[in-house]
Structure 1
């Protein structure tokens, strides 16, 4: 496999060794008030009840104190992943043997119930042995339609006859993306869910509106992902503690929310709940527009960067399966993942030189992505910035506004909207993330070499991508129907920015007019008063011709003179050629 030279300068490359030992994450400090603390338990959303103080008001869980101020992702919108009921505050630890066999994954669903049910199905005896994760006897009569294969995207999509293994991997990536892309029923369900909540917010506050940001506003969401919303009001006063409680009670009484949590005293106050109809998890923040700005920017990147959506979804699922996509436990947030993939594709030398088509080489690009950020990237010295619209590598020493990092070995990505903000500052579990990327590179390259030497008969039923990604959950169809149904979240986001740009333009025009009026009042240009000037009539003799110059409207051309000429209206006593003097 050809090595990627994206970070070619010596100061950009950090040599790593495969013998580096894993560092165990430090356990969070235990509270001194352990006697009064209740026994360790989890709520419906899977949050540890001991790391924060909780009170209950009308079946609404109120979180009065949040110690982790970096757990909230400004662009993903949530403190933790509500889909994973087993997530705690302790950073997940990767095990070498599980990573090598690709067994460190979780279910891609709203809860772990599907995963447990799938395990029960797998525990039952089957008619035929499963070959490489694929079963030929799928129980289609089961109501839940649980899968008995870890690689459902290869069912009826066999690419084992491809001569080039890289092409085989590219086709598998396309199949996987199509498999997890939303159907029209899922899009309609999400549109209806947001519509109900938006109507309720508009009814409760006349001057406020609900907007969607995050993965749903960019079409980069996985099945079962939550929806991140923000409430923007005209007065900008809806982020108070009383407002959060009032809205939470209102949604509960209207039957629009269950399992409500109010995080009031955090850096970013939010309300977390589950929609009772669709069972979709909703996170609502208040009076913050940076997520809306990021959604617009990401959509522009998607339009200008082929392959960005496909590789981003693969990496998101890869990290999600290993619980490394949770910012609250030091994982990579969605916007950080997008920035990594975007900078990788935009600065790839073979893409810049038009040597390869990204959409036809997704397999090679995925392998090189894991190689770059798993083995070659210099996390100690290099930051990534996209402030000018194009990504570049920036030495950390040149980033003057960079906040103090936990350690030199950390990921630093400059916020496109705020040059002083490091959007990946909460990803303190970088060592495990880097190990996972390096392990994925080794697994994919080994699989490619293995299948390259295998016969076509031995390739049947095998998967290349399945060596690093597995799927457990309810059965899905290969339906990428985003073009059939409008994603209203995207339309609302675009309308918000159009309206905002119009308001800014009008304010700019008004301020410009006011400035011009003031300038007109101060700098009044008046015509200077007319001064009486003496007529300058000079007689110049040149070959019998006299030139007469007038200071008013008439100019008398040079003509031969026999008598002096007087200019009417001038003072006659000052005229050297006054005929009355003769």
Structure 2
């Protein structure tokens, strides 16, 4: 959720007050509330009592920061019309990253937006099909895991969603030495910039490779975890 048009009265103290108020709400898990003040776009993260993760971001009314949330939503919705597999691959991979505590970008993990761009770029290059042809979701999943868990050269190339083969990093964006082995994704709404750098890419790559090696076991574990979460949630208890 993006809150736009915030005036100068929104400062770190205001964010902390809002975070405290959220902790007092019955529909919010108080222990999950995180106020992240130093991000480029301030954010408050929390989980509802129905186990729904929520990010509240704030855009200054006078800021030049581009709010790409609405643009991204429209882009993904258009893409799903051509690639309905996009939704299911993304949901499964999100649950997998969450299970391994690799889904928090503020701790070096891979957030939902960047994961969706990775899946989108993968389907653009490897998910094309002839008229009337249907893809096997299992095959697409395994190919994704093989690409990003084993074959992708994170230190040499960047990810983008313009439908072309992945360019070398030096071709598009200079890379600082300390980010030499990190994940970089070109911002689809500002191609001169990258939107993400994660310092845990090696752990993410290892986890994806583990998924590729033992898919049945891991899917079974994810399924059992989801069932347990449903039973423990207020909705599941009804």
Same fold (TM over 0.5): yes
- The alpha carbon displacement at 1:405 in A equals 5.5
Which one of the candidate residues 160, 175, 181 is aligned to 1:385? 160
For residues 286-325 of structure 1, what are the structure 2 equivalents within 5 Å? 286-287=58-59, 289-325=67-103
Secondary structure of residue in 2 paired with 1:418: coil
Please provide the CA RMSD for this pair: 3.5
Greater helix share, structure number: 2
Q: Distance in 1 between matches of 2:44 and 2:99?
A: 26
Q: Could you say which residue in structure 1 is the equivalent of 2:3?
A: 231
Which one of the candidate residues 473, 476, 482 is aligned to 2:229? 473
Given the superposition, is the C-alpha separation of residues 402 and 304 from structure 1 closer, same or farther in structure 2, using an over 3 Å criterion?
farther
- The alpha carbon displacement at 1:377 in A equals 1.5
1:241 partnered with 2:11: yes
Tell me if the contact between 1:402 and 1:420 (Cα under 8 Å) persists in the aligned partners.
no
- The alpha carbon displacement at 1:419 in A equals 1.3
Q: Distance in 2 between matches of 1:395 and 1:405?
A: 15
Tell me if the contact between 1:239 and 1:269 (Cα under 8 Å) persists in the aligned partners.
no
TM-score by length of 2: 0.75
1:416 partnered with 2:172: no
Secondary structure of residue in 1 paired with 2:56: strand
- The alpha carbon displacement at 1:396 in A equals 0.9
For residues 243-258 of structure 1, what are the structure 2 equivalents within 5 Å? 244=14, 248=18
Q: Deviations over 1:256-301 (max 9, x none)?
A: 88746654454322345676x8686644221162223222222222
TM-score by length of 1: 0.33
Secondary structure of residue in 2 paired with 1:286: strand
Given the superposition, is the C-alpha separation of residues 316 and 405 from structure 1 closer, same or farther in structure 2, using an over 3 Å criterion?
farther
Q: Distance in 2 between matches of 1:261 and 1:438?
A: 30
Secondary structure of residue in 2 paired with 1:394: coil
Secondary structure of residue in 2 paired with 1:419: coil
Given the superposition, is the C-alpha separation of residues 247 and 469 from structure 1 closer, same or farther in structure 2, using an over 3 Å criterion?
same
Tell me if the contact between 1:384 and 1:414 (Cα under 8 Å) persists in the aligned partners.
yes
Greater Cα shift, 243-252 or 298-307: 243-252
Tell me if the contact between 1:383 and 1:411 (Cα under 8 Å) persists in the aligned partners.
yes
Tell me if the contact between 1:347 and 1:391 (Cα under 8 Å) persists in the aligned partners.
yes
Which one of the candidate residues 317, 341, 357 is aligned to 2:134? 357
For residues 176-575 of structure 1, what are the structure 2 equivalents within 5 Å? 229-233=1-5, 237=7, 240-241=10-11, 244=14, 248=18, 259=30, 262-272=35-45, 282-287=54-59, 289-348=67-126, 351-352=128-129, 356-358=133-135, 361-386=136-161, 388=162, 390-399=163-172, 401-404=173-176, 406-425=178-197, 427-444=198-215, 465-466=219-220, 470-471=224-225, 472-475=228-231
Tell me if the contact between 2:19 and 2:34 (Cα under 8 Å) persists in the aligned partners.
no
Q: Distance in 2 between matches of 1:245 and 1:325?
A: 23
Secondary structure of residue in 2 paired with 1:231: strand
Q: Distance in 1 between matches of 2:92 and 2:50?
A: 25
Of structures 1 and 2, the one with the larger relative CO (CA 8 A, separation 6+) is 1
Unmatched 5+ residue regions in structure 1? 1-228, 448-462, 477-582
Q: Which has the larger radius of gyration?
A: 1
How many corresponding residue pairs? 220
Q: Distance in 2 between matches of 1:409 and 1:355?
A: 40
Unmatched 5+ residue regions in structure 2? 60-64, 233-238
Q: Deviations over 1:108-133 (max 9, x none)?
A: xxxxxxxxxxxxxxxxxxxxxxxxxx
Given the superposition, is the C-alpha separation of residues 342 and 241 from structure 1 closer, same or farther in structure 2, using an over 3 Å criterion?
same
- The alpha carbon displacement at 1:367 in A equals 1.2
